[in-house]
A and B are shown apart, each in its own frame.
Chain A
Amino acid sequence: MFCKEFNENGWLYLSDELDGESGKYFEEHIQHCTACQAQLAEARQWSNVIDKLPLHRPSGTIRKSILREAKASCPPKEHTGFFRKWQYSLSFGLPGLAAAALLLLILIKPWNHSDTQVVDILMWDDSVAIEMIDLSLAIITMEKDYNENYENDDVDFLEETTLSVFHDELSDLRTELENYNSMAESI
């Protein structure tokens, strides 16, 4: 059994690449096309079988040499937007710094706020806000993924090593976010 419709849309449907209208059309089509149903089922089986083929690693020395090169070529650590602002304030001397600190105290009162509120309040300073939003989004995404994987007991999907690396990164980002808050509080 063979249906031309499958050639045009079947694999795209399986890989979730059909847009709204085309997806809807194909879904309606397969409801009454037994050829497409059979081809779709078979395509799924092939995907599963090939997906389970063992994956291979290159030699360990290659990993080391690539990571060494990446470390050597890593761009210098950027000072955060917040730190840049500090430098900028200092370049205007103490009066500038005092004025900036006073403004922060009046506007932010950082000791009373959660991370999300700090992000909202700091919107007036785009560089700080972008940095904070980046960090917060990263943490939210990672926490959600991390919790879902544990809740669903989906240990097959994330290997134990990946989970541990994932957790380390989350912890690093948390520390970085806490540093921001401490800097704000110290003002």
Chain B
Amino acid sequence: MKRDINQNDAIWVRSYQKGSDKAFNKLYDRYERPLFSYLLKMLNNKQIAEDVFQQTWMKVIKALPEYREQQRFGSWLFGIAHHAAIDQIRKTGKQLVDEFASETLDEIDAGAETPDTILIKDEDSARLYEAVEQLPVAQRSVILMRLHGEISFKEIADIEKCSINTVLGRMHYAIANLKKVLVTDTQKRSSYVL
């Protein structure tokens, strides 16, 4: 069962526009952790993630009185954060293109392993976290926006100004690459034990 978060967001937005500052607190509390986690994993640096997080909310506060619900609040918020994060990554001179773009989807073979077989212990969430951080930016952004931000693939395509097929391709690459990273990591660990 899932609450209709979008409907409640729209209520808080309208309430804020009508002068209820408490309504903003509810929007903030709802998105604080998913948005900050998204930025933290995108930028891999707590201080920079906090700066971008703050800039994002400042932009939202400035624009909110004129916001007219042409898109979902969550999608709008993540869109602002995503572009700010990409600007920040550009400043550091990192590559934004897909590192695996030359491969076709059929060529990627990450083996038959599933999360159940690769990640079986509690401490594996830390390994998965590290594996997500190693993904190319474009893939990381899709997987995190979809799974942490609950942004739909269509909305991600709008945010990233690309086709939905590109977004789905990145999702597929992201999962395949996560498997590769985790399987390699598992093999390394096994060899240490032996």
State whether A15 touches B152 (Cβ < 8 A): yes
What's the minimum C-beta distance from A171 to chain B, rounded to whole angstroms? 12
A58 to B147 Cα, complex, angstroms: 19
Indicate if A160 sits at the interface (CB-CB under 8 A): no
State whether B65 touches A162 (Cβ < 8 A): no
Interface string of A145-156 (1 = CB under 8 A from B): 100110010100
Indicate if A47 sits at the interface (CB-CB under 8 A): yes
Chain B residues with CB under 8 Å of A94's CB are none
A interface with B by C-beta (< 8 Å): 2, 4, 7-8, 11-12, 15, 17, 41-43, 45-59, 62-63, 65-67, 69-71, 73-78, 134, 138, 141-142, 145, 148-149, 152, 154, 157-158, 161-162, 165, 169, 172
Give the secondary structure class of B's interface. Answer: helix
Q: Beyond the given A59-B50, A69-B58, could you list 11 further A-B residue pairs with CB under 8 A, ordered by the A residue number? A: A8-B168, A11-B171, A11-B172, A15-B153, A53-B129, A58-B36, A63-B32, A71-B24, A74-B19, A75-B16, A78-B18
A175 to B87 Cα, complex, angstroms: 45
Indicate if B7 sits at the interface (CB-CB under 8 A): yes
A66 to B115 Cα, complex, angstroms: 38
* Chain A residue at minimal CB-CB distance from B168: A11
- Give the bracket for the number of chain B residues in contact with chain A: 35 or more
Chain A residues with CB under 8 Å of B106's CB are 2, 4
State whether A74 touches B16 (Cβ < 8 A): yes
Q: In chain B between 87 and 146, which residues have their CB closer than 8 angstroms to a CB of chain A?
A: 105-106, 114-116, 119, 125, 128-129, 132, 143, 146
Q: Which of B24, B30, B62 contacts A74, CB < 8 Å?
A: B24
Give the secondary structure class of A's interface. Answer: helix
Q: Which of A67, A158, A162 contacts B24, CB < 8 Å?
A: A67
State whether A74 touches B171 (Cβ < 8 A): no
Indicate if B34 sits at the interface (CB-CB under 8 A): yes
Q: Which of B20, B147, B169 contacts A47, CB < 8 Å?
A: B147
What's the minimum C-beta distance from A113 to chain B, rounded to whole angstroms? 24
Q: In chain B between 156 and 194, which residues have their CB closer than 8 angstroms to a CB of chain A?
A: 164-165, 168-169, 171-172, 175, 178
Task: Identify the interface centre among B1, B62, B129, B169: most chain A CB within 10 Å of its CB.
Answer: B1
Chain A residues with CB under 8 Å of B7's CB are 141
A162 to B27 Cα, complex, angstroms: 11
Chain B residues with CB under 8 Å of A41's CB are 114
